[in-house]
Structure 1
Amino acid sequence: MDQMRQSNDHDEFITIIGASMAEINAEYHAQGLADRDFSIVHKIGRHRFTRVGGGASEHMFDGQSMIAATFTRTRRN
């Protein structure tokens, strides 16, 4: 973990999940994330999602893999 940049209370993250990169790109622009200084955090790729809580887990999107892209910005005080 020492080599990885750790986030702090000033970092804000938005993850967009879609069936294609075109959908994610369109949503990135629709939300005006570039104008709000958001940039990509890591590689964009296919993921399978599981939600956990209350001792149970649920496979999201019927267990299908989706493309996910996470964007971040550091808020200024």
Structure 2
Amino acid sequence: MSQMHQSNECDEFITIIGASMAEINAEFRAQGLADREFSIVHRIGRHRFTRVNSSGAEHMFEGQPMIAATFARMRG
């Protein structure tokens, strides 16, 4: 049985949101994330985003689904 990496306070995550995978790939390269040892942590897919704060909830991107990809640099 394989063990999954347990996230800790030293791990760093970056989520890139875009209308297409091409946009996400371009931003991944622009930020130099591969050189900084970031890798994808989950499958890429369409998401709807809601931001919640003390005033309530807000649908982001006018409620339109966007593609999101989360990358991480694991430490420790």
TM-score of the pair, normalised by structure 2: 0.90
SS for the counterpart of 1:62 is helix
Residue 5 of structure 1 and its aligned partner are, at CA, apart by 4.1
Where does structure 2 lack aligned partners over 5 or more consecutive residues?
Answer: none
Question: Identity across aligned pairs (percent)?
Answer: 77
Equivalences, count: 74
Matched residue, 1:49: 49
Matched residue, 2:27: 27
Q: Please, what is the CA RMSD of the aligned residues?
A: 1.6
SS for the counterpart of 2:27 is helix
Inter-partner Cα distance in structure 2 for 1:4 and 1:75:
14
Amino acid at match of 2:63: G
Inter-partner Cα distance in structure 2 for 1:47 and 1:58:
15
SS for the counterpart of 2:42 is coil
Matched residue, 2:58: 58
Matched residue, 2:70: 70
Matched residue, 2:11: 11
SS for the counterpart of 2:36 is coil
